[in-house]
């Protein structure tokens, strides 16, 4: 992902985080408010049902007791019994006795007028006929009538809803199959009916509702949404700041991560994770024959947008941060991937790999190399290791690493020779195989600068120490001729080739071998 990509994704993520945190918290507070309200209404409903069971139960007991009475119908004893019941049973207002559908007597007296029994609205499971709303002669107040085997009791419907409720909350007590017995605060009975039928129709358009059933009875409690909305706001006051905080946290995290990601170090770390490195190969030429003897592996960072970053731009940062170690590992892997087969087919050719100061200091790279070369068919002497002076600061560690490398069969070369402060002293103290003369000295060949006098001395010194010499940055034939005359073994530079992709490099070597063979007979 490139920079713009990261910024776009980070912005989107922030937006999503903000919206989902706020939305989530809003939703949470809404569902919480609903849950709290539902519980509250449920407790009202349960309370109401408990109270409603009392008159219902009383009526049933009384009616059965009266059915089993031995007093003669409408005798004084019978009327007295009915009167006692009326007085002693709180929920029963009056008791009457019917014969052939006509009222004969009540708990007060024998009936004088002809009162016809009302047709019941429904019959309960144990056979009691219930009239939901009848107007008895004496009081004129609507009553619930319950009739069984000749006797009828009258119950004030208020007894079924004998609880105290906030005025906004409406309740209906019905039989389980939907016949209303009593209501409080005028609920919409059509809505109550729907709610009782479909258990799913929990929520009306503008009312919050709860249905509770208990045996023969059911309670429906309604509350207008306007009321619960207040509670919702209260909940949101608590939760939305949390959502805001969460959103800020998320956004902060996204910014933190993307800043890390967008920092040069973050980008490099990602590049390693995504293996964005490739290796180009600059041919190394045997000056005497003009033949290709191998190459120096030079790492490049190929960005996702296809651009190539040169190592001078990221190697210093990688060395500073320790990220150079995994980069070295990837370079080793890439060399094996690119040229493994080719190197096994050409056992006399080599590849030079640049090691960082940390690679030299830790020596870890040698184990990595050994493990990765295992079973590839590449021999260790085909691998040259280049190290600059910076790797030799810790002399003891450098010595140990170089000794070990050479014991394993790798070649070790000192790179950029002549550019540091103590090149000479290192040369004396370290067991090296080769010396790479820095380009700056090659540049002076054929000029009359001061350092042009130094170049031959470097060459002589290397010869004295029996080191192989690689001349870097050869750009002209004149330079090549000069070096050849002084028996410098190897050369590298634009005169021959720039660093090439693996396939081009192999092609180069192939042609070079043919050309060299014909160009230098004998």
Do the beta carbons of residue 108 and residue 84 sit within 8 Å? no
- We find the least distance from the C-beta atom of residue 494 to ligand G, in angstroms, to be 3
Which residue, 147 or 417, is less far from Mn ion as judged by CB? 417
Is 472 a binding residue for ligand G by CB under 6 A? The answer is yes
Q: Which does 312 bind (CB under 5 to 8 A by kind): Mn ion, ligand G, none?
A: ligand G
Q: Long-range contacts made by residues 187-194, C-beta under 8 angstroms, separation at least 24?
A: 187/220, 187/222, 188/222, 191/222, 192/220, 192/222
Residue 316 neighbours by CB under 8 Å, 6+ apart? none
Counting every residue written for the chain, the total comes to: 522
Give the phi and the psi of residue 96 in degrees, each rounded to 5: -135, 160
Which residue, 66 or 299, is less far from Mn ion as judged by CB? 299
Among 288, 283, 284, 282, CA closest to 519: 288
Which residue, 154 or 318, is less far from Mn ion as judged by CB? 318
- We find the least distance from the C-beta atom of residue 331 to ligand G, in angstroms, to be 4
| C-alpha distance from residue 92 to each of 87, 89, 155, 158 (Å) | 8, 6, 5, 11
Is 294 a binding residue for ligand G by CB under 6 A? The answer is no
3-state secondary structure of 77: helix
By CB under 6 A, how many residues form the interface with ligand G?
A: 22
Is 416 a binding residue for ligand G by CB under 6 A? The answer is yes
* Distance, CA of 287 to CA of 459 (rounded, Å): 14
Among 406, 408, 333, CA closest to 376: 333
Is 188 a binding residue for ligand G by CB under 6 A? The answer is no
Do the beta carbons of residue 441 and residue 453 sit within 8 Å? no
Binding mask 400-429 for Mn ion (x = CB under 5 A): ---------------x--------------
Q: Which does 499 bind (CB under 5 to 8 A by kind): Mn ion, ligand G, none?
A: ligand G
Taking CB under 6 A as the criterion, the residue among 276, 286, 475, 504 binding ligand G is 475
339-368 residues near Mn ion, rule: CB under 5 A: 354
Return the axis-axis angle of helices 502-519 and 324-345, rounded to nearest 10°.
40
Task: Please give the distance of CA 392 from its chain centroid, rounded to a whole number.
Answer: 46
- We find the least distance from the C-beta atom of residue 296 to Mn ion, in angstroms, to be 5
Is 386 a binding residue for Mn ion by CB under 5 A? The answer is yes
Question: What region does 15 belong to: left with phi over 0, alpha with psi -120 to 50, or beta?
Answer: alpha
Is 499 a binding residue for ligand G by CB under 6 A? The answer is yes
Is 493 a binding residue for ligand G by CB under 6 A? The answer is yes
Q: Which does 493 bind (CB under 5 to 8 A by kind): ligand G, Mn ion, none?
A: ligand G
Is 338 a binding residue for Mn ion by CB under 5 A? The answer is no
**How many other C-beta atoms are found inside a 10 Å radius of the C-beta of residue 211?**
21
> DSSP of 230-275, one letter per residue?
HHHHHHHHHHHHHHHHHHHHHHHHHHHHHHHHHSHHHHHHHHHHTT
Is 298 a binding residue for ligand G by CB under 6 A? The answer is yes
Which region, judged by CB under 5 A, interacts with Mn ion, from 24-32, 100-108, 378-386, 479-487? 378-386
To the nearest 10°, report the CA torsion of 443, 446, 452, 455.
Answer: 80
Which residue, 341 or 419, is less far from Mn ion as judged by CB? 419
Tokens of 299: 């790492």
Taking CB under 6 A as the criterion, the residue among 128, 210, 299, 437 binding ligand G is 299
Taking CB under 6 A as the criterion, the residue among 315, 400, 454, 513 binding ligand G is 315
By CB under 5 A, how many residues form the interface with Mn ion?
A: 3
Residue 127 neighbours by CB under 8 Å, 6+ apart? 148
- We find the least distance from the C-beta atom of residue 366 to ligand G, in angstroms, to be 15
Is 415 a binding residue for ligand G by CB under 6 A? The answer is yes
Which residue, 155 or 458, is less far from ligand G as judged by CB? 458
Is 433 a binding residue for ligand G by CB under 6 A? The answer is no
Is 435 a binding residue for ligand G by CB under 6 A? The answer is no
Residue 116 neighbours by CB under 8 Å, 6+ apart? 101, 102, 103
Is 469 a binding residue for ligand G by CB under 6 A? The answer is no
Is 389 a binding residue for ligand G by CB under 6 A? The answer is no
Is 433 a binding residue for Mn ion by CB under 5 A? The answer is no
Binding site for ligand G (CB under 6 A): 282, 298-299, 310-312, 315, 324, 328, 331, 354, 356, 415-416, 439, 472-475, 493-494, 499
Binding site for Mn ion (CB under 5 A): 354, 386, 415
């Amino acid at each position: 992902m490139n920079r713009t990509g990261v910024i776009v994704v980070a912005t989107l993520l922030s937006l999503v985080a903000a919206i989902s945190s706020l939305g989530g918290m809003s939703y949470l507070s809404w569902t919480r408010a609903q849950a709290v309200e539902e519980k509250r209404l449920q407790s009202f409903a349960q309370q109401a049902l408990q109270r409603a069971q009392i008159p219902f139960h009383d009526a049933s007991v009384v009616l059965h007791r009266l059915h089993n009475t031995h007093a003669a119908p409408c005798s004084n004893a019978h009327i007295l019994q009915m009167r006692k019941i009326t007085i002693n049973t709180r929920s029963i207002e009056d008791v009457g006795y019917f014969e052939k559908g006509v009222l004969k007597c009540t708990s007060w007296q024998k009936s004088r007028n002809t009162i016809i029994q009302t047709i019941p609205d429904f019959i309960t499971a144990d056979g009691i006929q219930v009239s939901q709303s009848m107007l008895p002669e004496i009081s004129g107040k609507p009553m619930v009538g319950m009739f069984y085997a000749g006797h009828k009791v009258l119950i004030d419907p208020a007894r079924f809803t004998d609880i105290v409720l906030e005025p906004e909350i409406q309740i209906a007590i019905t039989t389980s199959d939907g016949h209303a017995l009593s209501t409080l605060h005028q609920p919409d009975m059509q809505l109550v009916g729907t709610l009782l039928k479909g258990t799913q129709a929990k929520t009306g358009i503008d009312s919050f509702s709860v249905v509770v059933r208990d045996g023969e009875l059911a309670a429906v409690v309604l509350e207008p949404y306007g009321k619960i909305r207040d509670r919702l706001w209260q909940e949101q006051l608590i939760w939305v700041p949390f959502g805001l905080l969460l959103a800020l946290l998320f956004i902060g995290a996204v910014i933190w991560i993307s800043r890390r990601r967008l920092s040069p170090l973050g980008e490099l770390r990602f590049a390693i994770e995504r293996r964005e490195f490739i290796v180009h190969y600059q041919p190394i030429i045997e000056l005497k024959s003009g033949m290709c003897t191998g190459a120096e592996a030079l790492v490049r960072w190929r960005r996702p947008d296809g651009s190539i970053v040169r190592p001078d731009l990221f190697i210093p940062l990688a060395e500073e941060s320790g990220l150079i170690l995994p980069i070295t590992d990837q370079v080793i892997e890439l060399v094996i991937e690119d040229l493994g087969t080719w190197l096994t087919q050409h056992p006399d050719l080599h590849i030079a790999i640049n090691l960082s100061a940390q690679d030299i200091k830790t020596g870890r790279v040698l184990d990595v190399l050994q493990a990765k070369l295992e079973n590839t068919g590449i021999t260790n002497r085909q691998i040259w290791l280049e190290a600059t002076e910076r790797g030799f600061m810790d002399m003891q560690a450098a010595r140990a690493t170089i000794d070990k490398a050479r014991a394993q069969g790798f070649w070790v070369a000192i790179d950029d020779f002549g550019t540091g402060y103590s090149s000479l002293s290192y040369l004396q103290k370290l067991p090296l195989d080769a010396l790479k003369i820095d380009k700056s000295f090659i540049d002076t060949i054929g000029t009359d600068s001061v350092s042009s006098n130094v170049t031959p001395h470097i060459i002589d010194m290397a010869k004295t120490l029996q080191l192989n010499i690689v001349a870097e940055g050869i750009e002209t034939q004149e330079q090549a001729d000069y070096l050849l005359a002084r028996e410098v073994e190897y050369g590298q530079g634009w005169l021959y080739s720039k660093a090439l992709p693996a396939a081009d490099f192999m092609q180069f070597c192939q042609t070079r071998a043919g050309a060299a063979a014909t160009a230098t007979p004998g």
